[in-house]
């Protein structure tokens, strides 16, 4: 901030110009104020987001021949040095930064779920996931260069949730080729009102906004680098015709997230059981980055062990993942290797670990969730354990002479030799 004393010193160096204002008329006077080079260097060094500059313009009537002083006006001037949009127009931080603990600042409005993009993956379109960071196990730090999306599976960037701290006369969502700057997709998202506190109601207004995007990458090559951005434009950048000067906006006007197109599933390159340390070492590879290795029970209903990505891993590198087996028992398991685009490869492995798991006392089909569940004799509804997935939704079943008879929602009657636990 340039204080009033600076203005006084500056004004003392200015000359005085005299103009004649006709009776009943007016005169337009243009006054230009320029900072010295030393002042600019000071502001650039200590006020990197820009600074307000205050000044005064004085207009004094010439004294009459009798020496009577005329009217004097002191006109305040408020200007801004720097880019009006270099400073962020959004709430502090972003969801991926808070999820890893990397962002230490407290959000203005206290919501750490803010400033987040959401994605649905083509093989599970009914669910939405946070876009950015490790989709399975949070990394120690947010590594934006690992963000990825599949362009062949039907993945869709569904929406962006954010809080603006300044008004935007207009806004837009863009998808750019990060290498060339070419805009590949664009949509208008309209004016945005910044968050403000309304004392009559006693709480904040216009926070936690959500804009639906529904952008699906198509016909994009493997490895293409993308940049998704929601950009807000203040009134200063919109002309009288409503045209927005998007090109001159500063970096603080946009909420951005980088993405890499990754259509290749990862693979398991090796597997070794360490009986001394009761651990399973998995060698896994991906053309980008392996996000996680997860060990499930044979039905895929329970996570038994998992390991996330290493911060020092390079793209395309085969890495070792160690799974702790101290609480794992069984002989058949599912092992999944996943990358940051949620491309997943599943392996069935036969491996004797700990004590073998016996069959449960009872099995039943839970119609409320469409899965097989297991339970013991004295179990309650809340003791049911997921046992297996089902491709069918069963309506009725019975057993007679070790034959199981069942009917499904597809109108199918099934008969299977029963060899259950009794």
Question: In this predicted model, what pLDDT tens digit does every residue of 309-338 receive, in sequence order?
Answer: 999 999 999 999 999 999 898 889 999 999
pLDDT at 12: 53
CA torsion 405→407→411→414, rounded to 10°?
A: -30
Percentage, residues of the chain above pLDDT 90: 64
What confidence tens digit (pLDDT) does each residue in 269-281 have?
999 999 889 999 9
Q: When comparing pLDDT for 57 and 144, which is higher?
A: 144
Which residues have CB under 8 Å from 48's CB, separation 6+?
86
Which residues have CB under 8 Å from 355's CB, separation 6+?
329
Q: How many residues does the chain have?
A: 422
Helix (H) or strand (E) holding 378: none
Provide mean pLDDT across the span 222-246. Answer: 96
Count CA atoms closer than 13 A to 91's CA, side-chain side.
Answer: 28
pLDDT at 299: 86
What confidence tens digit (pLDDT) does each residue in 105-114 have?
999 999 999 9
| pLDDT surpassing 90 at residue 364 | no
Among 65-69, 191-195, 344-348, the range scoring the smallest mean pLDDT is 65-69
**DSSP one-letter code for 95:** H
What confidence tens digit (pLDDT) does each residue in 132-143 have?
999 999 999 999
Highest mean pLDDT among 338-342, 390-394, 407-411, 418-422: 338-342
Encode burial over 187-206: b for 16+ CB neighbours within 10 A, e otherwise: eebeebebbeeeeeeeeeee
Provide mean pLDDT across the span 259-277. Answer: 96
pLDDT at 348: 96
Tell me how crowded residue 411 is: count the other CB atoms within 10 A of its CB: 7
| pLDDT surpassing 90 at residue 181 | yes
Among 198-212, 229-243, 395-409, the range scoring the smallest mean pLDDT is 395-409
Report the alpha-carbon distance of residue 91 to residue 166 in Å, rounded.
9
Chain centroid to Cα 245, Å, comes to 26
The CA-CA-CA angle for residues 7, 8, 9, to 5°, reads: 90
pLDDT at 19: 81
Helix (H) or strand (E) holding 296: strand 290-297
| pLDDT surpassing 90 at residue 409 | no
Tell me how crowded residue 323 is: count the other CB atoms within 10 A of its CB: 20
pLDDT at 2: 46
Percentage, residues of the chain above pLDDT 70: 90
| pLDDT surpassing 90 at residue 9 | no
pLDDT at 91: 97
pLDDT at 416: 59
The radius of gyration of the chain's CA atoms, rounded to the nearest angstrom, is 33
**Banded model confidence at residue 410, pLDDT cuts 50, 70, 90:** confident
pLDDT at 358: 60
Contact 55, 35 (CB under 8 A): no
Contact 116, 256 (CB under 8 A): no
pLDDT at 357: 57
Report the alpha-carbon distance of residue 283 to residue 288 in Å, rounded.
15
| pLDDT surpassing 80 at residue 422 | no
Q: When comparing pLDDT for 417 and 299, which is higher?
A: 299
């Amino acid at each position: 901030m340039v204080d009033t004393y600076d203005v006084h010193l500056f004004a003392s160096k200015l000359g005085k110009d005299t103009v004649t204002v006709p009776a009943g008329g007016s005169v337009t006077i243009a006054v230009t104020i320029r900072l010295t080079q030393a002042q600019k260097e000071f502001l650039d060094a200590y006020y990197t987001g820009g600074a307000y500059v205050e000044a005064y313009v004085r207009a004094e009537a010439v004294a009459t021949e009798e020496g009577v002083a005329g009217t004097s006006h002191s006109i305040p001037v408020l200007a801004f040095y720097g880019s009006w949009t270099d400073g962020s127009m959004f709430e502090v931080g972003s969801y991926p930064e808070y999820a890893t603990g990397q962002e230490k600042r407290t959000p203005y409005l206290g919501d750490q779920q803010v400033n987040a993009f959401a994605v649905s993956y083509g093989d599970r379109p009914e669910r939405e996931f946070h876009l950015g960071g490790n989709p399975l196990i949070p990394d120690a730090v947010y590594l934006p260069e690992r963000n990825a999306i599949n362009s062949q599976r039907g993945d869709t960037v569904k929406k962006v949730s954010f809080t603006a701290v300044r008004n935007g006369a207009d806004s837009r969502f863009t998808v750019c080729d990060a290498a060339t700057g070419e805009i590949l997709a664009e949509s208008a998202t309209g004016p945005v009102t910044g968050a403000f506190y309304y004392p009559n109601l006693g709480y904040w207004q216009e926070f936690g906004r959500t804009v639906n995007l529904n952008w699906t990458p198509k016909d994009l090559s493997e490895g293409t680098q993308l940049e998704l951005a929601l950009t807000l434009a203040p009134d200063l950048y919109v002309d009288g015709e409503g045209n927005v000067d998007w090109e001159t906006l500063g970096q603080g006007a946009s909420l951005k997230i980088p993405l890499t197109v990754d259509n290749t599933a990862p693979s398991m390159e090796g597997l070794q059981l360490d009986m001394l340390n009761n651990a399973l070492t998995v060698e896994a590879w991906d053309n980008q980055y392996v996000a996680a290795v997860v060990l499930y029970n044979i039905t895929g209903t329970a996570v038994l062990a998992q390991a996330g990505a290493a911060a020092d891993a390079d793209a395309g590198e085969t890495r070792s993942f160690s799974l702790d087996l101290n609480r794992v028992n069984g002989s058949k398991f599912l092992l999944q290797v996943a990358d940051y685009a949620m491309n997943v490869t599943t392996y069935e492995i036969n491996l004797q670990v700990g004590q073998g798991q016996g069959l449960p006392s009872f099995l039943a089909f839970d119609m409320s969730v469409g899965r097989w569940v297991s339970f013991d004799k004295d179990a309650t509804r809340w003791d049911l354990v997921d046992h297996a997935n089902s491709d069918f939704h069963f309506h009725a079943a019975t057993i007679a002479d070790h034959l199981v008879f069942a009917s499904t929602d597809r109108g199918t009657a099934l008969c299977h030799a029963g060899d259950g636990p009794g």
